[in-house]
Amino acid sequence: MSKIAVISTSTGSLDYVSTGYDNLRILRMKLIINEKVFSDYVEMTASDFYNRLKEDTSLVPSSSMPSIGELYDMLEELEKKGFEDVIITTISSELSGTYSICLMAKNQYEGNINIHVVDSLNAAITEGFLSLEAIRLIEEGVSAKEIVEYLKVLRTKRKQYFMVDNLRLFVANGRLSGASGFVGSMFKIKPILEVNDAGKIVSLEKIRTQKKSLARMADIVLNDLEKVEKFIMIYISSENLDGLNYIKSRVTEIYPNHDFIEAPITPVIGCHTGVGAVGVAFFDLSK
């Protein structure tokens, strides 16, 4: 049986969930604040980052991809440890060029490890969930090729929504498709956004207050879940635990024993969402 490793990009939030796997590596995205570069999580955690945004409301942080050299180093280390295959899951290619960097590494790496690159079409812990599923299947003895095929199906068997408290950073960093419809009133609304099946962030509904936006988002998710037999919920936020707990409580009312994963939004994604965002998603695990 082939020895298989998994590489996840740091935007997948796995640092905040579980890294206790000897076959898991995290490829670090970079955060840029006032021309200083920080390695995601290692040099700037979510709580540290959101405290900075609260202290300086004019701050416009940005992000950058990991270098191909960092990925080469990781691949060499895994190969030396005897891994024969590595599955790399990346943040959606519609949100970052990291997928392209990983494909370049796959094509140019001169070692002997077999490299499989999967565009997650997701972001945050929904991206990380694909890595966790890959690890689960590795432990069950599934081949790398079969795992990749499964991940390509799983990545769009999900719905993902989030409420943004302020669109300032989304607009400043150009990460919202169709943002022009929001710009004039972006400080007055608490929109519901969606990560669609193509991995793009698109506007779903414009709502005036956070309370109404969260309530509507919960309604949308619960309506989606009526059609699903088996699922796992994903809860994320950028320092908005009240909003997160509200969404969780709404789902728990109907599904008291549901499985879920909860994690903060990483700084690299947070430099677009800002403080106060709440996200909810689910993966349809029905056969």
Q: Is 238 exposed, middle or buried (0-12, 13-18, 19+ CB in 10 A)?
A: buried
Token pair, residue 29, equals: 């995205």
The span from the CA of 15 to the CA of 280, in Å, is 19
Residue 168: per-residue pLDDT: 78
How many residues make up the chain in this entry? 287
Residues 257 and 210: beta-carbon distance below 8 Å = no
Range of the domain at 202: 158-284
Among 154, 170, 193, identify where a domain stops. 154
Q: Is residue 34 part of a domain?
A: no
Scanning the structure block, which residue is given the tokens 């991940």? Answer: 151
- Compute φ and ψ for 141, nearest 5 degrees: 85, 15
- Find the CATH number of the domain harbouring 147: 3.40.50.10440
Question: What are residue 24's DSSP bridge partners?
Answer: 6
Tell me what pLDDT residue 203 has. Answer: 86
pLDDT tens per residue, range 81-123: 999 999 999 999 999 999 999 999 999 999 999 999 999 999 9
| CATH, residue 224 | 3.30.1180.10
| Residues 138 and 207 occupy one common structural domain | no
> Of the given ranges (25-34, 80-89, 110-119, 181-190), which has the lowest mean pLDDT?
181-190
| Distance of alpha carbon 14 from alpha carbon 10, whole angstroms | 7
165 pLDDT band (50/70/90 cuts)? confident
Percent of the chain having pLDDT more than 70? 93
Distances (CA, A) of 65 to 47, 62, 153, 173: 21, 11, 26, 15
**Tokens representing residue 285 in the block:** 């695990």
Higher pLDDT, residue 263 or 188: 263
Is 232 within the bounds of a domain?
A: yes
Same domain? 10 vs 149: yes
Let me know if residue 36 belongs to a domain: no
Report whether pLDDT(151) > 50.
yes
Together in a domain, 20 and 102: yes
263 token code pair = 């994690």
Across 19-47, average pLDDT: 95
Asked if 121 and 199 touch (Cβ cutoff 8 Å), the reply is yes
Report yes or no on 51 lying in a domain: no
Q: How many domains does the chain have?
A: 2
Same domain, 186 and 229: yes
Q: What per-residue confidence (pLDDT) applies to 208? A: 87
pLDDT of residue 166: 80
Last residue within a domain, chosen from 109, 132, 154: 154
pLDDT at 2: 81
Residue 184 pLDDT class (50, 70, 90 cuts): very low
Instruction: Please indicate, yes or no, whether residues 169 and 143 belong to a single structural domain of this protein.
Output: no
* Final residue in a domain of this structure, among 132, 154, 176: 154
Average pLDDT, rounded, for the chain: 93
Beta bridge partners of 62: 32
Q: 181 with 134, same domain?
A: no
Give one DSSP letter per residue of 77-133, joined into a string. HHHHTT--EEEEEES-TTT-SHHHHHHHHHHH--SS-EEEEEE-S--THHHHHHHHH
112-129 per-position pLDDT tens digit: 999 999 999 999 999 999
